[in-house]
Amino acid sequence: MSEALRGLAPTLDALVDDGALVGWVAGVQGPAGVEVAVGGRRRVDGPPMEPQTLFSIASCSKPVGGLLALRLVEEGVLTPDDPVERWLPELAGLRVLARPDADLGDTVPAERPITVRHLLTMTPGFGWVSDGPLAVAMHDVGVAPGPFPPPMGPDEFMDRLASLPLANQPGSTWRYHTSSDVLGVLLARATGTSLGNLLQEHVCDPLGLVDTGFTGDPDRMAGVHTVALAGGLVALPLPEGTFTTPPQFESLATGLVATVPDQLAVLASLVGTGPTLLSRESREQMRRPHITADQRSATAGLLDPDTGWGLHVETRPDGRIGWAGGLGTIGYADPATGRAAFLATQVTVDAPGTVAAFDAFWPLLG
C-alpha cells in the first residue's frame, strides 16, 4: 500500500470506530498503477466494504457529464457555441427575473440565447436559488436541485423548468446543478439515443469501466447514511428504487452509481494517465477556469473564494480538478503529476465524519 493510503487508513478507521463513519473505500491512480484500500462496513451491521462496492456518487456525476459532452463536441455532434434551443425548444424565448428574488411576474426578455457553453460552465441563468419566489416555485414544480434524480421523465422536466423565468441573464451568473440535468437531456436528443447508451459507448467502454451506470446491484451497494437528530448515523430514506431500478430521468447531475476504481479511471483520463477520451486541447479547456469575478455572486457555500469552475469541474489554485458529492464522495486529479484520488464514505457531506474524512483526503494526491 502506498504511503498516502497507509497514512489515511488509520484516520478513517478511527472515524468508523467512533461511529462517525460506517465504512469507506479510498483509492489512488497514477503512472505507477492503481491502489485501493477499504475499511468498515457497507451498512450498520452489514457486510464489509470491498474495493468493488458500489456507491451513489451524487454530484461526482457532474465531471462525467462534462467529459461525455466534450467527447461529443470532438465528434462533431455539437459545438460549445450552439444555441441549446436547437435541441431544447422549451428554452427558446424565456423571460428573466428583474432580480433573482423578484416576484415571478417581474421579468424582462432574455438578452441572448442559452448556449451549450452556458450549460458546461453552469451560467445559463437557471440553477441553485437559495431563497425567494423562484426557489419556492422550483421546489413546488419538482425541479429544485437535490441529491436524487428528478422524479419525472426528461420531457416533463424540461416543460416544468421552462415554465419558470430565469434567475439571471444567460452568461451572467454561475448557478449550480441544474445545467447538468439539462445537458443530459440535450445530449440524448442531439444523438437520438438514451443517455445510458451514450455513457456506455463514449465513456465506459473506452475506459474499461464495468460498474458505472444509472443503476446498480443492490447487493453490492453501500447504504446511504446521515446523522440522526439524537446523534449517531442512520440510514437516509431514499425514494423507492433510487439507484437500483432504471430511473425515469438519467441524471448527469446526481444519478450515477460507480465504484472507486471506475471513478479513478475517469479522473485519471482527464489528466492524461492511462486511457484518455479527449484531446490535450479539450482536456486543457475542461480544466481551465471559465467563470469570471462578475459571475460569482451565487457561488457562496458552493465554491471557495480561491477556486474556480471549468467545464463541469472545480478548478483549484494548485491546478487540481474534480468535485465532491453530497452523499459522501470526493474525487480530484492533478495534471502536474497525473495522479488521481477518490474517497467514498456514503455518509452525507454535512456529517462531521464526512467533513473530517474529506479534510484527510488531500494527501492522497501527494
Residues 264, 231 within the same domain? yes
- CATH number, domain of 91, equals 1.20.58.710
Residues 180, 227 within the same domain? no
Please write the tens of the pLDDT for every residue from 253-290: 999 999 999 999 999 999 988 789 999 999 999 999 99
Residues 240, 328 within the same domain? yes
Residue count (the chain) = 366
Residue 30, pLDDT score:
92
Residues 31, 94 within the same domain? no
Residues 221, 344 within the same domain? yes
Residue 333, pLDDT score:
98
Residue 231, pLDDT score:
84
Amino acid at 24: W
DSSP 354: H
Residue 236, pLDDT score:
95
Count of domains for the chain: 2
The residues that bridge with 322 in the sheet, in sequence order, are: 314, 332
Contact 269, 322 (CB under 8 A): no
Final residue belonging to a domain, choices 171, 191, 211: 191
Quote the pTM value. 0.97
Residues 222, 316 within the same domain? yes
Q: Sign of the CA dihedral 104, 106, 108, 109? A: positive
Helix (H/G/I), strand (E/B), else coil: 76: coil
The string of DSSP letters for 262-282 reads HHHHHHHHHTTSSS-SS-HHH
Residues 138, 280 within the same domain? no
Residues 85, 187 within the same domain? yes
Final residue belonging to a domain, choices 176, 191, 206: 191
Assign 3-state DSSP to the chain and report helix, strand, coil percentages, each to 5.
35, 15, 50
pLDDT along the chain (366 residues), means of 10: 90 97 97 94 96 98 98 98 98 97 97 98 97 97 96 98 98 98 98 98 97 97 93 92 96 98 98 91 97 95 95 97 98 96 97 98 95
Please write the tens of the pLDDT for every residue from 10-32: 999 999 999 999 999 999 999 88
Residue 4, pLDDT score:
87
- CATH number, domain of 235, equals 3.40.710.10
Residue 243, pLDDT score:
96
Q: For residue 284, what are the domain limits?
A: 3-71+194-365
Please write the tens of the pLDDT for every residue from 184-195: 999 999 999 999
